[in-house]
Chains A and B, each alone.
Chain A
Amino acid sequence: MAKNDSTAKKLGNSFVGMFKRLFVPQKRSALEEEAIQTPMRTVLKNFFRSKLGVIGLVMFVGFLLFAFLGSYLYPISLTYIELTNANLASGRNYLDVPEDISAQDVKKIVSGVSFSVLLTNDGQLRIWGTEPNQKLKDVSDYVLDIPKEVQNANIVDIATGGKHVLALDDQGNLYGWGYYGHGQTTLPEDTAEDFAEEGIVAESIYAATMWSAVVGSDQNLYFWGSSQATTNFKVTRAVKGHIEKIASGDNNMAVLLDDGTITVLGDKSSEYYSNVPEELQDGSVRVVDIASTNRNVLALDDEGNIYTWGSSQDGLTTVPEFTGEVTAVEAGYKHFILLLDDGSLVTWGANELGQTDLPENMGPVTQIFSDYFQSYALGEDGTIYAWGNRGYFLGSDEFGRDMLGRLIHGGRISLTVGAIAMLISTMIALIVGLAAGYFGGWVDHLLMRLADVFSAIPFYPIAITLNYAIGNSLSESGRLYLIMVVLGVLGWMGLARLVRAQLLVEREKDFVLAAKALGIRQNKIMWRHILPNVFNLVIVNVTLGYASSLLTEAGLSFLGFGVAAPTPSWGNMLTSAQASTVIQYYWWRWFVPGLCVVLAALSANLIGDALREAMDPRENER
């Protein structure tokens, strides 16, 4: 027992000692320094002596954690698309209500895709969030810059479209700013003339992503903006002069009339238009409040019953069970909120951006506001509760997907594809190189000619052609495997030649002769004495080759012949970013994934370079 103990201790000591020696500078006497180290230890020591190598290692481990741990902690849905939120800049301040405002001061809160505007009881505006617009001639202005005249006016009503704001002051003047690509921020000239002639004043304002609307003092509805949306809006005689309230999606609007019935305008092919409950139209119930998401409507009648219709997406038509009396209804772009008489809230609908995740410890609520993906509630105690889309760390892409999530998952795909491609090519290279070097003769000749054939094949053209020729008939994961195989099969030649050459060199060395003289079997000489010397070379080439296979995968995916959307990879995240407008205005869409490719490849190259120097016997000369 005692003997075993001491062996274990020795082993343990030497193990600890190995790490100690690696990281803690050791003082040694001249005699000790001459002690022989194992080659592996020399390599490790040399490697950690190189600053760049250590930097590379740290960076690489960082990327691995970012991609793999990140994917685990930060799941994304591949099929999720939210075009409304496309190309938003980075910012997490969508819900950062200014702290100096109390709920008692709030008259109304409205939100656009990435910002919210608050109207105080004394007619002032406060705005927060992230700027969704660029300063573009004839298209858009910054929405966060409230115009001077608006700041000076006494505002009575506000409305927001996706990227523009409308404000109405007590004199009936209409102000609009932000995105005006469809002219949605200013009343069209002919309407303005009519208003002036007939003495009509705007009474309330509404806005959607592409258009704006005004209800005049004649109780008539006027709208303008994108013709695509507004051509369907035909104001009927029944509606004219009886408008009580409007709720709208992008292509439809529900109008609550003064007799308590509802009329829907807009796109006739939608369920929004065709599924309106009978009783809401024939006057048998009296509706008091309405709210509309993009594709669904929620109505509340005077007896507290609620009605909902429209698209069946996101479960919006199924009202969850609740107890209590409904006092108000609200809707964002894809979710509904009910305010009950005890001040609690009921909410349902899409929750990809946390729209239905009510804040914890919420006290009784007096009023609710919701628009797009942000919701606000005014607490009885004066706090303003906010929930929903906080924003995106790294902005969003052309489909409104979170760039950070795609970067993490794209990193996982890119790093994995590169690694497996490298593994495949290394396996082939080892088999071919070792077989050629070991057997020699015609096997050698044949294999080296094969290597010649493969080296003569131009990489990018053939990789692209192959991915196109075979890839189309494969499933998504099949295509992923295809890229790994293509990268691997087209990339083994250099290493195979190196392995063969190294094997030939090692075979002729004296220690092999000595081993033969000792009578050691041929196989054992090969595995125990020759191969370890070849493997140093392989390790260096695998690290350097990993960097280049990361780059080729990125290049192929960038061209659209690698990893296919919607599966993200660092390369294909840049595919849609080639247009000059994207390069100019949406820098986060190409710079960030591009930088990730550079840094990941650089870290692998730094490691490989440091390893190569660490293994170079010339470096160990004193």
Chain B
Amino acid sequence: MTRYIIKRILILIPVLICITIILFSINKLMPGDPVKAMLPTNLKAEQYQAAYDAMYEKLGLDKSLPEQYVRWMLNMFQGDFGWSTMNNRAVADVVAEPIRNTVILNVGVIILQLLISIPIGIHCAVKRRGLFDNFWQVFSLITWSMPSFFLSMCLLYIFAINLGWLPFGGMPNASLLSGMEYVLAWLKHLILPTIVLTLISIASTIRIVRNAMIDALNQDYIRTARAKGLKEKVVVYSHAFRNALIPVSTVVVGTVFSLFAGSTITETIFAWNGIGKVLISAINARDTMLISTMNTFFSLVSVLAVLVSDIVYGLIDPRVRLS
């Protein structure tokens, strides 16, 4: 097992290097002058030139591109992600709160997503081609075809504007509220984005669970179990579902990592101050360091998600790590 894990990690290293090189090149392609953005505008021409040259050197822009890349990587390893010109603060400080907000939003989404989709997926597989299954098949096709911005706008139209039950978007105001009210305000702001993200994500999880269950139910050992005269419940939950858990568990691990992956569109519409929204504002403000850090962060999260689900897969299913 250790060998398997080490092998998986070793494979990741060139992948990560490639990704960072791609991100670095995109950063270099970005329009705008990063030095200019970091200098105060009220300097005289001479002072400005001197300050410009100093900053140019300090950012290491006088070095060759490979050297700049290595410096950038080393800095990131040491926890120095650069300076955000948009907020005039270190990038690490800028993203701390949005990451927290994104995690808060996604915790609810993931819990709901798994709670809803696993039982439904199992039931669909057991009662395959029944009314229940057909309903969820069509339902998942519809939510699959639903762009999140449109779903968000429809929900806002109904619940925020016409019924007035929920806020139109934005973040709860921390300074005005206290105690229970504060929690309630958070919940109110969380409801609509949570519904949108859950509806959009359950479609694929239901299908994955359903297909895994159908595959498991088609196995010979299920026929044997039924032939033994076991109760259908035992067959489904104890024989089939346990084996269906293998692919399902990788999905679960993957979704846990999506805690950190901000959803750009939904966060933008609901003005939720998460990392997806920060990325958009960083791009609009041409804040290159913040953009590259965010992109590296997103890539790292998805690489780690793949790694962990591979390892979990190997742990659960010995056939994987032996092949």
Residues of A within 8 A of B (CB): 52, 449-450, 452-453, 455-458, 460-462, 464-466, 468-470, 472-473, 547, 551, 554-555, 558-559, 561, 571, 574, 577-578, 580, 583-584, 587, 590-591, 594-595, 597-599, 601-602, 604-606, 609
Closest to A593 in B: B150
Q: How distant is the Cα of A387 from the Cα of B3 in the complex, in angstroms?
A: 82
Segment at the interface with A among B82-90, B95-103, B262-270: B262-270
Q: Which of B19, B154, B168, B283 contacts A468 (CB 8 A)?
A: B283
Contact between chains at B153 and A577 (CB < 8 Å): yes
0/1 interface trace, chain B 308-319, chain A, CB 8 Å (1 if under): 000000000000
Contact between chains at B283 and A455 (CB < 8 Å): no
Q: How many residues of B contact A (CB 8 A)?
A: 47
Pairs A-B, 9 closest by C-beta atoms: A594-B150, A458-B298, A601-B145, A602-B145, A469-B29, A453-B18, A456-B303, A469-B30, A460-B264
Contact between chains at B265 and A555 (CB < 8 Å): yes
Q: Which of A457, A583, A599, A606 contacts B299 (CB 8 A)?
A: A457
Closest to A587 in B: B157
Q: Return chain A residues, CB-CB under 8 Å to B147.
A: 551, 554-555, 558, 571, 594, 597-598, 601
Q: Which of B22, B29, B138, B294 contacts A457 (CB 8 A)?
A: B22
Q: Return chain A residues, CB-CB under 8 Å to B303.
A: 456
Contact between chains at A469 and B18 (CB < 8 Å): no
Q: Which of B146, B154, B265, B279 contacts A558 (CB 8 A)?
A: B265
Q: Which of B175-222 contact A (CB under 8 A)?
A: none
Contact between chains at B156 and A472 (CB < 8 Å): no
Q: Return chain B residues, CB-CB under 8 Å to A456.
A: 15-16, 19, 299, 302-303, 306
With A460-B265, A461-B264 known as contacts, the answer to whether A580 contacts B299 (CB < 8 A) is no
Q: How distant is the Cα of A102 from the Cα of B145 in the complex, in angstroms?
A: 53
Contact between chains at A465 and B26 (CB < 8 Å): yes
Tell me which of B15, B18, B150 has the highest count of chain A C-beta atoms within 10 A of its own C-beta.
Answer: B150
Q: Return chain B residues, CB-CB under 8 Å to A601.
A: 144-147
Q: Return chain A residues, CB-CB under 8 Å to B229.
A: none
Q: Shortest Cβ distance from A575 into chain B, in angstroms?
A: 9
Q: Return chain B residues, CB-CB under 8 Å to A590.
A: 150, 153
Tell me which of A52, A449, A547, A583 has the highest count of chain B C-beta atoms within 10 A of its own C-beta.
Answer: A583
Q: How distant is the Cα of A461 from the Cα of B29 in the complex, in angstroms?
A: 15
Contact between chains at A583 and B279 (CB < 8 Å): no
Contact between chains at B138 and A453 (CB < 8 Å): no
Q: Shortest Cβ distance from A167 into chain B, in angstroms?
A: 34
Q: How distant is the Cα of A574 from the Cα of B151 in the complex, in angstroms?
A: 12
Q: Which of A473, A559, A574, A594 contacts B264 (CB 8 A)?
A: A559
Contact between chains at A584 and B26 (CB < 8 Å): no
Q: Return chain B residues, CB-CB under 8 Å to A470.
A: 29
Q: Shortest Cβ distance from B22 into chain A, in angstroms?
A: 7
With A602-B145, A605-B144 known as contacts, the answer to whether A465 contacts B291 (CB < 8 A) is yes
Q: How distant is the Cα of A605 from the Cα of B283 in the complex, in angstroms?
A: 33
Q: Which of A455, A547, A555, A602 contacts B149 (CB 8 A)?
A: A555
Contact between chains at A602 and B142 (CB < 8 Å): yes
Q: Which of A460, A554, A594 contacts B153 (CB 8 A)?
A: A594
Q: Return chain A residues, CB-CB under 8 Å to B234.
A: none
B11 within 8 A of A: yes
Q: Which of B120-156 contact A (CB under 8 A)?
A: 137-138, 141-142, 144-150, 153-154, 156
Tell me which of B145, B283, B302 has the highest count of chain A C-beta atoms within 10 A of its own C-beta.
Answer: B145
Q: How distant is the Cα of A589 from the Cα of B65 in the complex, in angstroms?
A: 47
Q: How distant is the Cα of A318 from the Cα of B229 in the complex, in angstroms?
A: 95
Q: How distant is the Cα of A461 from the Cα of B276 in the complex, in angstroms?
A: 8
Q: Return chain A residues, CB-CB under 8 Å to B168.
A: 580
Q: How distant is the Cα of A455 from the Cα of B150 in the complex, in angstroms?
A: 26
28 contacts between A and B (CB under 8 A): A449-B15, A452-B15, A452-B306, A453-B19, A453-B22, A456-B302, A457-B299, A457-B302, A460-B265, A461-B264, A464-B279, A465-B283, A468-B283, A547-B145, A555-B265, A574-B149, A580-B156, A580-B160, A583-B153, A594-B154, A595-B150, A597-B147, A598-B147, A598-B150, A599-B145, A601-B146, A601-B147, A605-B141
Contact between chains at A583 and B295 (CB < 8 Å): no
Q: How distant is the Cα of A236 from the Cα of B160 in the complex, in angstroms?
A: 52
Q: How distant is the Cα of A455 from the Cα of B295 in the complex, in angstroms?
A: 13
Residues of B within 8 A of A (CB): 11, 14-16, 18-19, 22, 26, 29-31, 137-138, 141-142, 144-150, 153-154, 156-157, 160-161, 168, 261, 264-265, 268-269, 276, 279-280, 283, 291, 294-295, 298-299, 301-303, 306
Q: How distant is the Cα of A465 from the Cα of B301 in the complex, in angstroms?
A: 18
Tell me which of B18, B149, B160, B264 has the highest count of chain A C-beta atoms within 10 A of its own C-beta.
Answer: B149
Contact between chains at A458 and B153 (CB < 8 Å): no
Q: Shortest Cβ distance from B202 into chain A, in angstroms?
A: 16
Q: Shortest Cβ distance from B276 into chain A, in angstroms?
A: 8
Q: Return chain B residues, CB-CB under 8 Å to A458.
A: 261, 295, 298-299, 301-302
Tell me which of A452, A547, A574, A577 has the highest count of chain B C-beta atoms within 10 A of its own C-beta.
Answer: A452
Q: How distant is the Cα of A449 from the Cα of B18 in the complex, in angstroms?
A: 10
Q: Shortest Cβ distance from A540 into chain B, in angstroms?
A: 14
Contact between chains at B299 and A468 (CB < 8 Å): no
Q: Return chain A residues, CB-CB under 8 Å to B280.
A: 464, 559
Closest to B292 in A: A465
Contact between chains at B31 and A472 (CB < 8 Å): yes
Q: How distant is the Cα of A561 from the Cα of B268 in the complex, in angstroms?
A: 13
Q: Return chain B residues, CB-CB under 8 Å to A472.
A: 31
Q: Return chain A residues, CB-CB under 8 Å to B146.
A: 598, 601
Closest to A595 in B: B150
Q: Shortest Cβ distance from A413 into chain B, in angstroms?
A: 16
Contact between chains at B295 and A462 (CB < 8 Å): yes
Closest to A594 in B: B150
Q: Shortest Cβ distance from A157 into chain B, in angstroms?
A: 40
Q: How distant is the Cα of A554 from the Cα of B147 in the complex, in angstroms?
A: 8
Q: Shortest Cβ distance from B275 into chain A, in angstroms?
A: 9
Contact between chains at B30 and A574 (CB < 8 Å): no
Q: Return chain A residues, CB-CB under 8 Å to B141.
A: 52, 602, 605-606, 609
Contact between chains at A580 and B306 (CB < 8 Å): no
Contact between chains at B283 and A449 (CB < 8 Å): no
Q: Return chain B residues, CB-CB under 8 Å to A473.
A: 31
Q: Which of A464, A554, A591, A595 contacts B283 (CB 8 A)?
A: A464
Q: Shortest Cβ distance from B192 into chain A, in angstroms?
A: 13
Q: Return chain B residues, CB-CB under 8 Å to A449.
A: 11, 14-15, 18
Q: Return chain B residues, CB-CB under 8 Å to A559.
A: 264-265, 268, 280
Closest to B157 in A: A583
Known: A456-B306, A561-B283, A598-B150. 10 other contacts (CB 8 A): A457-B19, A458-B299, A468-B31, A469-B26, A559-B280, A583-B161, A597-B150, A598-B145, A605-B144, A609-B141
Q: Which of B29, B145, B264, B298 contacts A605 (CB 8 A)?
A: B145
Q: Return chain A residues, CB-CB under 8 Å to B18.
A: 449-450, 453
With A456-B19, A547-B144 known as contacts, the answer to whether A465 contacts B295 (CB < 8 A) is yes
Closest to A578 in B: B269
With A558-B149, A584-B161 known as contacts, the answer to whether A468 contacts B30 (CB < 8 A) is yes
